[in-house]
């Protein structure tokens, strides 16, 4: 297969991506420090966390940190979620006025609190409403609009191809597709046939998403779907090196060596300092526990010990010692 669109990137409106590897928006995870890190380590685009289309709720500390900021990696892409076309259009414009350069629409989230508001993947059951939302948002802003969907609501209602055609006709410029239905949540095998069918049915760039955890996975999914790029979600948690590993494999056909303990510490230290700066002395160390848990996933005892540490200084000292010890063992 020719991986040129993945290796060399493609355009979303006026923005040419360095490559076709994209960090998926994940609430509570893809904050600015993590997005910066993934961009440094090879991601062509990192989409900000989902925000509600109800702008009256944007005054909260959580929302304020998720909205576009001047120090974001360019291009700034932010995802909105909702079910009212007028409200979604208003939220899109408000984000653009704050500095967003790409608006991404969520029609893939399977979370119950999102579905209760008839948003996220619940919209896939209402193609007419999908059309109204997409048309309203595209008309409201002068920046490109992208969309993330699933293959359908359930195995019996797998209408991803129809939704993709609606999206293209409405002016959506890139489509990301998670290879599960809403009913699947994040369980069970990912089904890539529908993504392949969507790629054949439309002309805009298509990103394949779902359980792409290694460079070899990436090559297999690209070969199966012929997608223009890939979107990575949970596989990037604690593993921001995934982007450069995939890019190297697609370009050279060989795998990069796994990062050394010293290299992991260097990246993790940068990640933690970013979290502390963004969230402050109290919340910074608390939020760091979640991220560090992914970096230390195989080492349950070290994770438990780290979670007891209340301050930035103790956390940094603990991890520095941990990775120095790991380096000595690897030598």
Catalytic annotation, pick one of 38, 109, 184, 213: 109
Catalytic residue flag (residue 213): no
Q: What is the mean pLDDT of the chain?
A: 92
Residue 183: its pLDDT value, please?
A: 72
Q: Does residue 115 carry a pLDDT above 60?
A: no
Q: Which residue has the higher pLDDT, 328 or 251?
A: 251
**261-330 maps to which CATH number?**
1.10.1200
Q: What is the mean pLDDT of the segment spanning 46-59?
A: 90
pTM for this entry: 0.94
Where are the domains positioned within the chain? 4-252, 261-330
- For 57-88, give one letter per residue: b (16+ CB within 10 A) or e: ebeeeeeeebbbeeebbebbbbbbbbbbbebb
Position 116 scores a pLDDT of: 56
Reported as a pLDDT band with limits 50, 70 and 90, residue 112 is low
Q: Taking the domain 4-252, which CATH number applies? A: 3.20.20.70
Tell me the per-residue pLDDT of 273-320, one tens digit each, with 9 for 90 and over. Answer: 999 999 999 999 999 999 999 999 888 899 999 999 999 999 999 999
Proportion of the chain above pLDDT 70, given as a percent: 96
């Amino acid at each position: 297969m020719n991986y040129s669109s993945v290796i060399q990137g493609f355009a979303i409106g006026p923005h040419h991506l360095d490559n076709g590897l994209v960090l998926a928006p994940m609430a509570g995870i893809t904050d600015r420090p993590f997005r910066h890190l993934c961009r440094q380590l090879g991601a062509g685009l990192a989409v900000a966390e989902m925000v509600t289309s109800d702008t009256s709720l944007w005054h909260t500390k959580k929302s304020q940190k998720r909205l576009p900021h001047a120090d974001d990696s360019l291009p700034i892409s932010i995802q909105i979620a909702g079910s009212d076309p007028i409200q979604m259009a208003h939220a899109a414009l408000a984000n653009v006025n704050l500095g967003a350069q790409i608006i991404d629409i969520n029609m893939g989230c399977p979370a119950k609190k999102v579905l209760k508001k008839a948003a996220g993947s619940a919209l896939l059951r209402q193609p007419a409403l999908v059309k109204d939302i997409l048309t309203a948002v595209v008309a409201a802003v002068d920046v490109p609009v992208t969309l993330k969907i699933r293959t359908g609501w359930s195995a019996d209602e797998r209408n991803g191809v129809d939704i993709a055609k609606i999206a293209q006709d409405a002016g959506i410029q890139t489509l990301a597709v998670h290879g599960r239905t809403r009913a699947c949540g994040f369980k069970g095998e990912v089904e890539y046939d529908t993504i392949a069918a969507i790629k054949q049915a439309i002309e805009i760039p298509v990103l394949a998403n779902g359980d792409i955890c290694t460079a070899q996975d990436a090559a297999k999914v690209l070969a199966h779907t012929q997608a223009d790029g890939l979107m990575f979600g949970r596989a990037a948690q604690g593993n921001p090196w995934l982007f450069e590993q995939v890019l190297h494999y697609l370009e050279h056909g060989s795998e990069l060596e796994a990062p050394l303990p010293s290299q992991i510490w260097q990246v993790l230290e940068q990640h933690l300092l970013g979290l502390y700066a963004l969230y402050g002395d109290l919340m910074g160390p608390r939020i760091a526990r979640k991220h560090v848990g992914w970096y230390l996933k195989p080492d349950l005892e070290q994770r438990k010990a780290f979670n007891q540490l209340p301050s930035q200084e103790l956390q940094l000292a603990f991890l520095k010692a941990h990775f120095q010890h790991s380096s000595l063992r690897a030598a």
